[in-house]
Structure 1
């Protein structure tokens, strides 16, 4: 049995004033190079907290600067099945950030992001539930629906 290598990540559910969710179409770390839509975010660097990583990743991947991402709204622990990944398991913590609609800036992208990020797009809940393209996590529409219903109840 091989050792587990866990990659901690921070993911951001970025919602605009019209309740659209920002997603990025990226290439999976797999020899198939399959594309899927994911939320902005990425790995937690050594010595960094999940919150610090979320704030940094938002700035790097979108150009948006915030000082607070609130509380964790979801935690996912999962096995990684991609054949070209450098880890066997993932630990993702999700945060919600509400921002006015913006265009993504790639000024802070790493060389790897310039290769792996194919495009970005804002998805309404209807778009998210009807797309036939892969979305990760698979139940992302349910999570967004829950967040929007919690927000309207407050």
Structure 2
């Protein structure tokens, strides 16, 4: 059965006039050279590729949440500077409610031969999902930025594909 928490949403240019909840989220686009870390949820195969991150807890900064959630979802620690990539508003209007996710997206670069890039693919469990329930299984893997862009929006969960062209430009500029 499909979990309604993972039904597709719509990226919005502005905050909708009406909604039930506003949830603050933070994500890290980690790159190693031209490779981008993404994940899929094998137990929710209809959900597109995602970027590690999640819910900002009360009293927590977006930056702190991004670092915590990244570690919870990947098992990796980001120990270097994060650059703000962009912000997004995503409306999820379904049987669970009409919720807006205010996302802050960060970029972090790690060395292609660094500790984070030692494995091409691995599984990791998030033990404390923000919505509660059983641990969530993630299959993490590295994807070339051009392949990620070419995969298109239909391959990624709502909104995660949107900043990839800008991210590629950053990578090319810093190379």
TM-score (norm 1): 0.76
1:1-150 matches, cutoff 5 A: 3-16=19-32, 18-26=33-41, 34-84=46-96, 88-99=99-110, 100=114, 101-103=117-119, 104=122, 106=124, 109-110=127-128, 114-115=135-136, 117-131=137-151, 134-136=155-157, 137=159, 138-150=161-173
How many angstroms does 1:127 deviate by? 1.7
* Match in the other structure for 1:151: 174
Which residues of structure 2 form unaligned runs of 5+?
Answer: 1-16
Give every structure 1 segment of 4 or more consecutive aligned residues whose post-TM-superposition deviation is greater than 4 Å.
Answer: none
The answer (yes or no) to whether the contact 1:70–1:95 under 8 Å persists in 2 is yes
CA distance in 1, matches of 2:104, 2:26: 5
How many angstroms does 1:129 deviate by? 2.5
CA distance in 2, matches of 1:110, 1:13: 21
Q: CA RMSD in A?
A: 2.9
Q: Describe the superposition over 1:3-25 as per-residue Cα deviations: whole angstroms up to 9, x where unpaired.
A: 43111110100111x32000111
The answer (yes or no) to whether the contact 2:41–2:138 under 8 Å persists in 1 is yes
Relative to 1, partners in 2 of residues 1:135 and 1:107: Cα closer, same or farther, differing over 3 Å?
closer
User: Relative to total residues, which structure has the larger strand share, 1 or 2?
Assistant: 2
* Count of aligned residue pairs for this structure pair: 145
Relative to 1, partners in 2 of residues 1:71 and 1:141: Cα closer, same or farther, differing over 3 Å?
closer
SS state at 1:88 partner? strand
